[in-house]
């Protein structure tokens, strides 16, 4: 069952088209990634889903109904631009936002304290927001998004500003919420995060829908054309080959794609064994980042040919 349906939405600001025909569905209990570089139109799309902006064309449905303010208590929205009251105590702020979503003060207070403990922040309860670091404030904002137990979570760049440890903490919480049956729309420009978490994706570039669908199936459709090598020695022997596109290249590890159909893996392995101590040579699917680059490049070539 689709919790969210976005059908060919368009949004213009004067002569500028911020979103030009984006469509996708989000199924119940799944994580959908809205992916693209900064400026791709992700936030504008999310604001239309949250009824902050109205699409010029197209239809958005949530829980089978046309999007409206009446549905907001069933949604948790974490905006890209965080907004907290600087001089208000943490627990008071959490209770206030939860009450706006229909929770009682007592229930909001109890659950707010539980969530603060879960994110290792019990001692922040009576501190004012302005006393907290940016990362701490981000945690409070996240708790305020999920405290009223929404069915649909819409998270716009949720990991922005977090250090690696807190990124992992937030990932675990989001995946736990999915296991509880929540439906999650996750916007990010970091492809690696989406690859680790999302069931489905929609790729957007310059406001245009590039591709959407099941992440596993999209990756599978590109086949295994990427080589990962780990070794000890000098990798300059790779420079002798024409038709290698390097994705990552460091001292003892290299990742590349073969773009020359006449070049064989046998040739590369043979020279690698002669040149370095080879620990790993694996043919894998391309990363989501590489797939996005390929799809965007193909789309631009088609548009340029028109």
Fold of 2-214: Rossmann fold (3.40.50)
36, 25 contact by CB (below 8 A): no
Encoded tokens for 183: 């439906």
Q: What's the confidence (pLDDT) of residue 267? A: 93
On the CB side of 57, CA atoms within 13 Å amount to 10
CA 32 to chain centre: 8
Which residues are 205's β-sheet partners?
208
Q: What's the confidence (pLDDT) of residue 298? A: 62
DSSP 285: P
d(C-alpha 262, C-alpha 257), whole Å: 13
Q: CB 60: neighbour CB atoms within 10 A?
A: 20
Q: Does the 224-284 domain belong in CATH 3.30.70?
A: yes
Look-up: residue for tokens 């070794």?
Answer: 231
Per DSSP (E only), the strands in the chain are 2-13, 16-27, 31-35, 57-62, 65-66, 75-78, 152-156, 183-188, 200-205, 208-214, 226-232, 244-249, 253-258, 277-284
What b/e readout covers 1-24, taking b as 16+ CB neighbours within 10 angstroms? eebbbbeebbbeeeeebbbbebeb
What's the CA angle centered on 89, arms 88 and 93, to 5 degrees? 75
11, 53 contact by CB (below 8 A): yes
Q: What's the confidence (pLDDT) of residue 90? A: 94
Binned average pLDDT, 10 residues per bin, the chain of 306 residues: 93 95 96 91 94 95 91 91 86 94 94 93 90 89 95 93 89 96 93 91 93 92 89 94 90 90 91 94 89 77 48
DSSP 252: S
Which residues are 74's β-sheet partners?
none
Which residues touch 216 (CB under 8 Å, ≥6 apart)? none
171, 196 contact by CB (below 8 A): yes
Q: What's the confidence (pLDDT) of residue 262? A: 87
Q: What's the confidence (pLDDT) of residue 306? A: 46
- Give the residue extent of every domain in the chain: 2-214, 224-284
Dmax over Cα atoms in the chain, in whole Å?
Answer: 71
d(C-alpha 140, C-alpha 149), whole Å: 15
242, 263 contact by CB (below 8 A): yes
Cα dihedral 232→236→238→241 (10° resolution): -160
């Amino acid at each position: 069952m689709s919790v969210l349906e976005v059908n060919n939405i368009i949004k213009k600001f004067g002569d500028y088209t911020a979103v030009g025909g984006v469509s996708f569905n989000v199924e119940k209990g799944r994580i959908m990634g809205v992916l693209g570089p900064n400026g791709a139109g992700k936030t504008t799309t999310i604001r239309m889903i949250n009824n902050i902006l109205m699409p010029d064309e197209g239809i958005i449905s949530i829980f089978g109904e046309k999007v409206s303010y009446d549905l907001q208590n069933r949604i948790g929205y974490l905006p890209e631009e965080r907004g907290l009251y600087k001089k208000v105590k943490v627990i008071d702020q959490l209770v206030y936002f939860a009450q706006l979503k229909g929770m009682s003060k007592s229930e909001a207070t109890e659950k707010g304290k539980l969530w603060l403990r879960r994110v290792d922040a019990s001692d922040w309860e009576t501190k004012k927001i302005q006393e907290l670091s940016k990362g701490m404030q981000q945690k409070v904002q996240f708790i305020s998004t999920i405290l009223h137990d929404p069915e649909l979570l819409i998270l716009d760049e949720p990991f922005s500003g977090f250090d690696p440890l807190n990124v992992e903490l937030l990932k675990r919480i989001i995946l736990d919420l999915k296991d509880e049956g929540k439906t999650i729309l996750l916007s990010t420009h970091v492809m690696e995060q989406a690859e680790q978490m999302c069931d489905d994706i929609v790729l957007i570039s310059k406001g245009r829908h590039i591709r959407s669908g099941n992440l596993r199936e999209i990756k599978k459709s590109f086949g295994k054309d990427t080589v990962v090598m780990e070794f000890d020695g000098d990798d300059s022997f790779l420079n002798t080959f024409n038709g290698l596109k390097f994705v990552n290249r460091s001292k003892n590890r290299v990742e590349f794609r073969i773009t020359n159909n006449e070049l064989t893996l046998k040739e590369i392995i043979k020279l690698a064994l002669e040149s370095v101590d080879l620990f790993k040579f694996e043919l894998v699917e391309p990363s989501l980042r590489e797939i996005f680059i390929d799809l965007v490049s193909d789309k631009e070539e088609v548009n340029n040919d028109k």
